[in-house]
Amino acid sequence: MKAGKLYYHFVENMNDALALNLSFAGNAKYIAGGQSLVPMMNLRLVLNEELIDISQVPDLLKSYSIDDEFFIGAGITHSQIEDGKIEDHTQGYLQYVAQGIAYRAIRNKGTIGGSLVNADPSADWPTAMLALGAKAIIMNQHHERQVPLANFQNGLMQTCLEESDILRGVLIPKLSSNARWSYLKFCHKVGEFAHSIAAIVIDPSLGISNIVLGAAGDKPIFLPNLSAKFSKAFIGNEGFNNELKELLEEDLIQHTTHDKLSYEFNLHQSMIKRAVMGVLQ
């Protein structure tokens, strides 16, 4: 299938993008890498007629440090992150996540912002960024606002963005030298979307202890009980003990809809357990 009738608009700055979008009163879509949007347009799952190309807007292509955080523009591609072309203060976490997304051709075009706004629960960046404790920087015509990733995605392919809002980028804490992370993705074939993702970022100096499960519901799932306990276990280096096992089960029962005896429950349980062991190694 092919997309319906379209009008393509190329913009060179944020103001033009925002103004143009507003002028189309809900019938416009931004396009960045087009790697999710174009397939959806071809399947006629997206029917907007006005396409606003923001891929070359300079504000979206920046990455820089601000004190103890660093910023990645929404238009930065997966392969730029994979190739170490941007500032990265996560001890290799971002690079590792990026190289596991789809195939190189998709990584060359697909952007971190497009992935977050697309809000596919099986995609990598939504889960990976939630585990990092990142914040989304969102712009409308009048002001800019910061939204913690925990409040950014509302559900399946739904975010807190209003119709013409632009995600300018993400603000990420600079991890300290004693931070540890683990990122595991289970898929049947390399380059596929995941059936389960386990993301862990622990940084005792910054008070970060985040364990997040992806591809297990309509949005990434933060596991609160295990996350809280794990920071202590990490310091004590006790391994995956019975207490952690029970907390994980409790979190999965409370925050997923899977039956305890189901394949999915056991898959997610194994993934988180393996990720925990990875951090403790």
Ligand X SMILES: Cc1cc2nc3c(=O)[nH]c(=O)nc-3n(C[C@H](O)[C@H](O)[C@H](O)COP(=O)(O)OP(=O)(O)OC[C@H]3O[C@@H](n4cnc5c(N)ncnc54)[C@H](O)[C@@H]3O)c2cc1C
Closest contact distance (angstroms) between CB of 204 and ligand X is 29
Closest contact distance (angstroms) between CB of 127 and ligand X is 9
Closest contact distance (angstroms) between CB of 101 and ligand X is 4
Which of 17, 244 has the CB closer to ligand X? 17
Helices (H), the chain: 14-23, 37-42, 78-82, 93-99, 104-109, 112-118, 124-132, 224-236, 242-255, 263-280
Which of 61, 279 has the CB closer to ligand X? 61
Question: Which residues of the shown chain bind ligand X in the complex (CB under 6 A)?
Answer: 29-37, 39, 54, 60, 74, 101-102, 106, 109-111, 113-115, 117-118, 123-125, 166-167, 193
Closest contact distance (angstroms) between CB of 274 and ligand X is 19
Helix (H) or strand (E) holding 258: none
Which of 114, 133 has the CB closer to ligand X? 114
Closest contact distance (angstroms) between CB of 118 and ligand X is 4
Long-range contacts of 261-269 (CB under 8 A, 24+ apart): 264/196, 264/216, 267/186, 267/195, 267/196, 268/196, 268/198, 268/213, 268/216
Q: Are 202 and 133 contacting, i.e. CB atoms less than 8 angstroms apart?
A: no
Which of 197, 247 has the CB closer to ligand X? 197
Q: How far is CA 210 from the centre of its chain?
A: 14
Which of 148, 239 has the CB closer to ligand X? 148
Q: Which two tokens stand for residue 67?
A: 């004190």
In whole angstroms, give the CA distance from residue 84 to residue 101.
15
Which of 35, 209 has the CB closer to ligand X? 35
Closest contact distance (angstroms) between CB of 157 and ligand X is 8
